[in-house]
Structure 1
Amino acid sequence: MDSIETHIANECQIKMKWRIKEDALKEAINNSNGVIVMKSECFKAPKIWGVEYCLLLTKEEENQIILYLALVFEMARKIDARFNLSVKSASYMKNGKAILEKTNGCGKTFCTRDELFDAEKKFFVNGIMEIELEGTLKALGIKRKAPESSSLGDVLWESEKDKDLTIAVKDQELKVHKWILCAKSPVFKAEMESGMTEARENRIEITDFSFETVKIAIEHSYERDIKKLITEENASELLHFADKYDMKLLHHNIQFTLIDKTSESNVVQLANASVTSNAKELGEFCVCFLINAIEKSSFIKDVKKLHQEITNEIVQRSVFPIAE
């Protein structure tokens, strides 16, 4: 089993209630130019990494209304969804199941437009319809995006020939190929094309990061394997560097390296770092990790230092959501 999958749950229960005003739905149907008539708020699956769900009402035919469970996911290879949808006042209940290989939905016939607004059918009570969802989602495997490797990158890194840009960090310097750095970072590219002193002198001064962080980031720009260089001590600063200089692949790969290193002793530290460095994939994993740990009554180091944003996310996923 993948090391990621041993630390987070791959199955969870989902439950929500969608309250819709009768007047709002009539207006939405009348004004809808496409298939989707109305969409509920999206909620994150409590324990499965990177999965969101919502409900949709669609107009598949002129007078036919369909109710969909829609799933949005990127990290899971497939999602096995089993669920039921109900409007208790109208004695409506439908069961559904589907294995989805990409972001998609599973629809169930709801009713005709005439039946929907027929008072005797009791879809609406006091002008409000309540659609309830209960179900189980199961992730079938986790996707990974392996960093690309290139022997040419190693050759270019080791060779000093044609390196035309100096990166200065305090009293240390690195020589690099300007075109490589600009290809990996739109921020550095903009700086080199600005006409400012840095561009004219082909020299960039970096004062807010350590030499170690800069060197590791530059090595990654040459597509060298940096996994063994990433530690709990330098991870937060590396994430901040990648975020500041918009080095998306570096940012992504650091997150996945840290995900593999996540444990009860460092999950709080990594969760906090995810908030301050816009590391959404790492943050999502830490939330799922923590929810799983809570259920197992595992000891979490420094849990009182957990960032409020992460705490709020855990609490939000632990309650029964209502979309209005």
Structure 2
Amino acid sequence: MDSAVTQKLKCPIAIKLTIPEDKLEEQKEGSEDCLYSDDYEAFNIPGVEYGISLYPNYDHVGESRFIFFVSLSNPIKIDANIKIEIKSANYIFEKNFVVFEGDYTEYEKLCTTEELFDTEKCFIVDGKMIIKIDGFFTIEKEAEDDTLLQCDNFDISLCLALWKQETKDFVIAAEGKEIVVHKWVLALRSPIFARMFESGMKEAEENKVIITDFSFIVVEKAIKLCYHQSLVPHSTLEEKMKFLQFFNKYDIQPLKNNLETYLITVLNELTVCRLTNAALLSNATKLETKCTEFLKDSIKKKPISDFDILDKDFALNLFKGTFCHMSEA
């Protein structure tokens, strides 16, 4: 039985196609040619291209049609969700469809050719027509390999046997739930826990610490990672970002460094803003640097998801740097 775990991968798509009125007029009487955008690659789905085109008078039948197309160089199932908008004419078209292989073309009537050139319909304004398209391609793929979270070469059977031992002597509590661990494992991983145990603090005397700034699920999985990554076979991106904060707070550097390296590999338009905030909260300088470089490179070229959640001070400095004019005296 195949036990592979799959995850959904989303790719945002967006095109703004501006067509001069004189180009539309040239096609008014009908033509085998059309007015089309460039072809664009889906940035995180290899071998996938897409674009949009417009026939002002499709096949001489007095209809204006637009065509959205997807080209696949390799067989793959894509769930597509698109929205095409002509704001000046209050026109919106939305469609969900599935692409499996080869070339896929979605034809849709926009209006009659007469209506397209009717000034009251406002498809053409100030000598041009502007068509905007946005949406998502979604595919299923095997979940990312989490082996980068592993920081030791200890035999898995040894680690699992250690985790199952009844000699655990310290309790970590969060949200009213508890997990029991070995003091020496925490001391080995974290100099902060080591100092806690040596200082005679209340936690050391009671053999218990209460953590209030992380959920129990995050605490439990982060502690298990201190034993071996095989104890946490799968976790969400949000959990991984919380692990990074946990490892930073308790100075668990080997795991933090490896997790930071892993998160850099999943950096894209959908994750960059969340990863940036996680990097800032976790003092993860390598991840912060990579996120900054990615944002500077993408901000003028590609749509970025969740930009509104980006740390405000970071965003302000980013804009200052990105839009600074370069001058030589």
TM-score under structure 1 length normalisation:
0.48
TM-score under structure 2 length normalisation:
0.48
